[in-house]
Amino acid sequence: MNDQIAGLPYRPCVGIMLVNASGLVFVGKRIDNKEGDAWQMPQGGIDDGEDLHPAALRELAEETGVSPKLVTIIAESREEHFYDLPDELLGRLWGGKYRGQRQKWLLLRFAGEDADIRIDAHEHPEFNEWRWVEPDLLPDLIVPFKKRVYRQIVDEFRELI
């Protein structure tokens, strides 16, 4: 990594592990990934001055259409999790201002029905498909540069899922 990239900050972000009553986790298939199956949990940037919990609820609503009234926040990750973008994405994402993301993760319990999930609710959808999966499958579904973070999140929240 060159000094210019190493000097870039990490983008502040919130990640959401949304679990249903059966202990399964929501994942969406990214619309913008041309290389094949890239599934992920909802996540997104935290706006300047925005607190973590409101950011999580906003991102969840934007990406899944799920109303904040249908979720309960169960836990917050003990620490931030970091990942670096692969070389081919550096300079292309987020206007080239960041080297990767620093994420706080929240575990949310979903109390709604599948019909309450509307991945097409936002003007610019992130996902073109969604499904519920076993937590241990998550690292196998995500793009390689996020696998470590997904393993850490599954391990941290496992007992609460």
- List the one residue out of 130, 155, 100, 105 whose CA is nearest residue 37: 130
Is pTM beyond 0.85 here? yes
What residues make up the domain containing 38?
A: 3-160
Give me the helices (H) in 1-146, please.
Answer: 3-6, 52-64, 138-141
- Per the structure, how many domains does the chain have? 1
3-state SS assignment for residue 143: coil
CATH of the domain at 122: 3.90.79.10
- Write the pLDDT tens digit of every residue in 35-72: 667 899 999 999 999 999 999 999 999 999 999 999 99
- Write the pLDDT tens digit of every residue in 83-140: 998 877 776 667 678 888 999 999 999 999 999 999 998 888 999 999 999 999 999 9
